């Protein structure tokens, strides 16, 4: 995982729209890329054990207040410190796009889920209307930004809704749900999507949120995922 230093609010987003995706019955929860621990704090309950993992030691320091255990470093290199078959839910809030090999991490971390365990993931959508039409078609440009978003300058991978599903399924999971989040607000963009007669229905959302469980018959995807 490669990350630059970002403004403080980059690591303190609440991501409340992702809360309903975490199963209410989940007791042992790991968030990969936990930042300052804001999302984990919203999951606090007396019967829960919360783990956090992040590559930025300074920004993740506040997460120690909420985490039963906080791991600092590259996610792939920290897998050996996670107990096998332990977690009920592993969360990736806008993390997988920062990895050179997201499929490799998803495959390796499968063994850390307990029976019936699930992953929850938010992944940016490269077909978002602001990128696809406003950027590429109208301005003929593809500009990275340091402020976050679909074209954040630390993103190494880009996904559409279809390729997100393929990544998850070929990493050994069965998709349980998918929903668009962070919809566009501009009336012009909404009108353009409406006029596309459904072709751009997925372009309304900046991200898609997924839940997936271990597949009973996992298929091995290509190594480049």
For residue range 23-79, list pLDDT tens digits in order. Answer: 999 999 999 999 999 999 999 999 999 999 999 999 999 999 999 999 999 999 999
Domains of the chain and CATH, by start: 11-124+158-182+207-214 (3.40.50.150)
Q: What SS3 state is found at 23? A: coil
E strand spans, the chain: 28-32, 49-54, 69-72, 87-93, 113-124, 173-183, 205-214
Percent of the chain with pLDDT over 90: 65
Q: What SS3 state is found at 92? A: strand
* Strand order from edge to edge, sheet including 173-183: 69-72, 49-54, 28-32, 87-93, 113-124, 205-214, 173-183
Whether the pLDDT of residue 127 is over 70: the answer is yes
Whether the pLDDT of residue 109 is over 70: the answer is yes
Whether the pLDDT of residue 1 is over 50: the answer is no
Whether the pLDDT of residue 216 is over 50: the answer is yes
Distances (CA, A) of 63 to 48, 50, 104, 107, 111: 15, 10, 26, 26, 25
């Amino acid at each position: 995982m490669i990350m630059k230093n970002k403004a403080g609010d980059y690591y303190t987003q609440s991501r409340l729209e992702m809360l309903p995706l975490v199963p209410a019955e989940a007791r042992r929860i790991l968030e990969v890329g936990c930042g300052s621990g804001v999302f984990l704090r919203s999951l606090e309950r007396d019967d829960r054990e919360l783990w956090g993992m992040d590559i930025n030691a300074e920004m993740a320091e506040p997460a120690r207040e909420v985490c039963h255990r906080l791991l600092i470093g590259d996610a792939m290199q920290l897998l050996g410190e996670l107990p096998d078959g332990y977690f009920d839910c592993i969360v990736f809030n806008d993390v997988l796009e920062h990895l050179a090999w997201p499929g490799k991490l998803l495959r390796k971390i499968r063994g850390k889920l307990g029976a019936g365990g699930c992953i929850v993931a938010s992944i940016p959508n490269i077909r978002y209307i602001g990128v696809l039409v406003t950027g590429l078609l109208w301005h003929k440009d593809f500009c990275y930004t340091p402020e976050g978003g679909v074209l954040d300058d630390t993103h190494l991978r880009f996904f559409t809704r279809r390729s997100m599903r393929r990544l998850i399924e070929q990493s050994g999971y069965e998709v349980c749900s998918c929903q668009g989040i962070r919809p566009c607000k501009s009336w012009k963009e909404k009108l353009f999507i409406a006029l596309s007669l459904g072709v751009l229905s997925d372009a309304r959302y900046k991200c898609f949120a997924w839940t997936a469980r271990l597949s009973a018959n996992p298929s091995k995807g290509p190594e480049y995922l």
